[in-house]
Amino acid sequence: MKRILLIVGGGIAAYKACELVRLCRKAGIGVKCVLTEGGQHFVTPMTLAALSESQVYTTLWDLKDETEMGHIQLSREADLVVVAPATADLMAKMAAGIADDLATTLLLATDKPVLAAPAMNVRMWQHAATRRNVATLRTDGVTVLEPDEGPMACGEYGPGRLPEPDAILAAIQNALETGGRLKGKHVLVTAGPTHEPIDPVRYIANRSSGRQGFAIAEALARLGAKVTLVSGPVALATPAGVTRVDVETAQEMANAVASALPADAAVMVAAVGDWRADAAPQKIKKGAAPPNLQLSENPDILALLAKSPHRPKLVIGFAAETEQVIEHATAKRARKGADWIVANDVSGDVMGGDANTVHLVTAQGVEHWERLPKSEVARRLADRIADAL
């Protein structure tokens, strides 16, 4: 049986940790809980003990606990350490290596993978200190899930809500998955549209919803890959276990892609805006004549990546076409230096819809995947990527 050590931090979202324990037990995962002092203000050790069917640990200074199961052993006997909710304070201590209570001592002493599910007020999540700490933790190899966005207990709205327990469970199962075919591989995915500003309130965009790219990121993570998802502005939740980098413009996307390297494979699904405007510093006033927009060309992220010295082993592009789909995709494959092109017939209701008809163009030829749900296109593509790596 796989086992996790669940560290429950002090935030209102701690009540959701109870549901997480229940789901883990139902999924056959053993759970031992550590409750921080703050956490005890929100849930009781008794609740977690009953749900986990195991003793709950709350302090470093309990002689009986310490003689029966030393804290070093507690930190190492699990297959995975999960921090949920990971408060701003807990993550700051983790990033700094502070060990001033049982939870932080265990986190410093563990030699097991660590997964953190953050929950905090939106301003705390967006604060430069938290941004820095999250970046440090990710560099240190901690999987930090993206919080959900929505109304908060404090009355504000934004990112900072604890991901739903079933999403955390999926991330746990993903992290515990030892036989994932893409384990140890890093795959970079771009998704969504870009927004190219014209002035502070207007932008040029396109109809991409990001759904196909997000589905691909999710399918890759399910196979155990470490996935970096560089996303333009979309209204989609981050798939469990995926590291998401949000960008607006093509230039920002190009920079985010470059900083995410090295990668074993890249799947460029984003509908990158081909042109950018010289954005006016102030809102353009409606005048007698419409403004003359000066457009310049955006970098071709896919083509640059395919030519770069850090080129991933497998570079996959997408091609949205409304006519002569395969001919255009074949030409695009050669022109951009991609290994595969997934040609997308967008003459119908594909953009924003659920289904997709695609043609996989490789050096070996063309395969046709007719009217499949986007999740199935994603699953098949992830499977093919696993074969190729």
Q: What minimum distance in Å lies between the beta carbon of 332 and ligand C5P?
A: 6
Residues within window 300-319 making contact with ligand C5P, judged by CB under 6 A: 300-302, 317-319
> Looking at beta carbons only, is 146 or 339 nearer to ligand C5P?
339
Cβ neighbours of residue 299 closer than 8 Å, sequence gap 6 or more: 250, 251, 254
CA 217/CA 226 separation, integer angstroms: 9
> Looking at beta carbons only, is 7 or 257 nearer to ligand C5P?
257
> Site map for ligand C5P, 210-249, x if CB under 6 A?
----------------------------------------
> Looking at beta carbons only, is 172 or 381 nearer to ligand C5P?
381
> Looking at beta carbons only, is 89 or 300 nearer to ligand C5P?
300
CA 279/CA 281 separation, integer angstroms: 6
Residues within window 189-208 making contact with ligand C5P, judged by CB under 6 A: 190
Residue 18 appears among annotated catalytic residues:
no
> Looking at beta carbons only, is 29 or 268 nearer to ligand C5P?
268
Torsion region of 224: left, alpha or beta (phi above 0 gives left; psi -120 to 50 gives alpha): left
Per residue in 316-328, is it b (16+ CB within 10 Å) or e — as a string? bbbbbbeeebbeb
Q: What minimum distance in Å lies between the beta carbon of 350 and ligand C5P?
A: 14
> Looking at beta carbons only, is 37 or 327 nearer to ligand C5P?
327
Among residues 174, 228, 243, 298, the one that binds ligand C5P under rule CB under 6 A = 298
Q: Which stretch binds ligand C5P (CB under 6 A): 42-50, 203-211, 296-304, 345-353?
A: 296-304
CA 181/CA 225 separation, integer angstroms: 8
What number of chain residues touch ligand C5P (CB under 6 A)?
15
| Inter-residue contact 7 to 107 (CB < 8 Å) | yes
What number of helices (H) and strands (E) belong to the chain?
14, 20
CA 166/CA 151 separation, integer angstroms: 19
Residues within window 244-273 making contact with ligand C5P, judged by CB under 6 A: 250, 268-270, 272
Q: What minimum distance in Å lies between the beta carbon of 146 and ligand C5P?
A: 22
Residues within window 152-191 making contact with ligand C5P, judged by CB under 6 A: 190
14 is a site residue for ligand C5P (CB under 6 A): no
Can you point out the beta strands (E) in the chain? 3-8, 30-35, 56-57, 80-86, 114-118, 143-144, 148-151, 157-161, 186-191, 196-199, 202-204, 226-231, 242-246, 265-268, 275-277, 295-297, 314-321, 340-345, 355-362, 365-373
Q: What minimum distance in Å lies between the beta carbon of 284 and ligand C5P?
A: 25
> Looking at beta carbons only, is 331 or 355 nearer to ligand C5P?
331
| Inter-residue contact 223 to 231 (CB < 8 Å) | no
Q: Is the peptide bond between 262 and the residue preceding it cis, with omega within 30 degrees of 0?
A: yes
Per residue in 173-192, is it b (16+ CB within 10 Å) or e — as a string? bbbbbeebbbeebbbbbbbb
Q: What residues are paired with 344 via a beta bridge?
A: 320, 358
| Inter-residue contact 382 to 360 (CB < 8 Å) | no
> Site map for ligand C5P, 332-361, x if CB under 6 A?
x-----------------------------
Q: Could you list the active site residues? A: 154
- Contact residues toward ligand C5P (CB under 6 A) are 190, 250, 268-270, 272, 298-302, 317-319, 332
